[in-house]
Amino acid sequence: MRAACLLPEGGIEIRERPPPSPGPGQVLVAPRLVGICGSDLHYYKDGRIGTWRVRRPHVLGHEFAGIVTGLGEGVGNTRVGDHIAVEPIVPCEDCDPCRRGVYNLCPRMRFTGSPHTDGALQDLVAVPARGAHSLPEGMDFALGALVEPTSIAVHSVRRGEIQPGETVVVIGAGPIGLLILAVALAYGADAVHSTDLDEGRLALAAEMGAGSTVNVGGLESREILDRTEPSGADVVFEAVGSPRTLETALRLVRPGGRVVAVGVNTEERIPFNLLLAQAMEATVIPVYLGRDAFPEAISLLASGRIDGTRLISHRFPLERASEAMDTALNGASGAVKVMIDVADGGGVGG
């Protein structure tokens, strides 16, 4: 079978590999569509995220949907032929966080598509059955591949405890920021404002219902407030992952409001303005991945309450995986969510 292998020295090669067999408690999946995530781009460009480093030929891809083609021993709730989206978190199920149900905080977690576990940019992949979530009949695989990032948006909005009628600012109009915008509106936020540096993404935010969009290039926090919520927003979501935007979030929230830190920063230490947070009595809420959010993400996408198709800007076959990554990295390409169609060009599965 084909596999798009990220090499330790850099670059992606399409290689032939023997097909995997599902072990006990696993299902074998033929991936159909795979979304490229920011973390995939970090591995592709830098070969690492934090202490996780690519040390052998590795297969990326953790945002995916596909068809179940085989079952391992002991699998009872999934059938061959099922269309599924796959939750990539593989917790140990035995530590204190796992026993308390916060499996996304498992210190022994494995993560499909990260250097310790190959992902979906290959014709077949074996994954734990616990992470296989059935898609409704007729739901497009492209929407299925958006379930994982949508689940992060759902978890983020839940963590922010948005109430109907509250005001929201989302810093960053990348895929996660846009999905947070959509989920916040679905949860009843009165106005959701979007900030970014990219006019194309801000235009998409407006199409998705943003109350206002602000290109923050050269603007001070006071100017951003004047164009969004002059008295500060009830909740600010930081979906970029830089020290500067985290401080901006603290300056855009109302006194006593909530700042939800969603963006991923690969630096080990991030400066934080504790004095400003104290002066605002702002509650700062970190988010790590998602938890128990796949069913709701599937429902939001399948029902059309979130129009996920707006985010999909490019599709490439597996053989052009390198081009897909380069397109996603190229700010001038207009890329929002780039997807790789594994079945296009000889993939396995019906």
The two tokens of residue 200 are: 């194309």
Please give the residue that has the higher pLDDT: either 273 or 286. 286
Domain range 2-145+307-341, CATH architecture? Alpha-Beta Complex (3.90)
Q: 167-171 and 191-196: which strand pairing?
A: parallel
How far is Cα 21 from Cα 125, in angstroms, rounded to an integer?
Answer: 8
The predicted structure's pLDDT at residue 332: 86
List, in sequence order, every residue forming a beta bridge with 28; answer none if it has no partner. 70, 126
| Same CATH fold assignment for domains 2-145+307-341 and 150-286 | no
The predicted structure's pLDDT at residue 107: 96
Burial of 319 (0-12, 13-18, 19+ CB in 10 A): middle
Residue 45 CA, chain-centre distance (Å), reads 18
For the segment 90-138, what is each residue's pLDDT rounded down to a tens digit?
Answer: 999 999 999 999 999 999 999 999 998 999 999 999 999 999 999 999 9
Q: How many residues does the chain have?
A: 350
Q: 191-196 and 212-215: which strand pairing?
A: parallel
Q: Among residues of the chain, what percentage have pLDDT more than 70?
A: 97
For the segment 311-332, what is each residue's pLDDT rounded down to a tens digit?
Answer: 999 999 999 999 999 999 998 8
Considering the entire predicted model, what is its pTM?
0.95
Q: What are the boundaries of each domain within the chain?
A: 2-145+307-341, 150-286
Residue with tokens 């250097």: 115
Strands (E), 123-264: 125-128, 132-134, 167-171, 191-196, 212-215, 233-238, 253-261
Residue with tokens 């006071």: 222
The predicted structure's pLDDT at residue 268: 57
The yes or no reply on domain 150-286 and CATH 3.40.50.720 is yes
For the segment 28-74, what is each residue's pLDDT rounded down to a tens digit?
Answer: 999 999 999 999 999 999 998 878 889 999 999 999 999 999 999 99
The predicted structure's pLDDT at residue 348: 38
For the segment 153-188, what is each residue's pLDDT rounded down to a tens digit?
Answer: 999 999 999 999 999 999 999 999 999 999 999 999
* Per-residue confidence band for 84, with pLDDT thresholds at 50, 70 and 90: very high
How far is Cα 296 from Cα 189, in angstroms, rounded to an integer?
Answer: 17
Q: Is the pLDDT of residue 11 over 90?
A: yes
Cβ neighbours of residue 200 under 8 Å, at least 6 residues apart? 334
The predicted structure's pLDDT at residue 52: 83
Cα four-point dihedral sign 322, 326, 328, 329: positive
How far is Cα 46 from Cα 206, in angstroms, rounded to an integer?
Answer: 33
Return the H-helix or E-strand segment holding 87. Answer: none
Q: Is the pLDDT of residue 346 over 80?
A: no
Of residues 132, 138, 151, the one with CA closest to residue 30? 132
Residues 224-228 have a mean pLDDT of 94
How far is Cα 235 from Cα 294, in angstroms, rounded to an integer?
Answer: 23
Residue with tokens 């990260």: 114
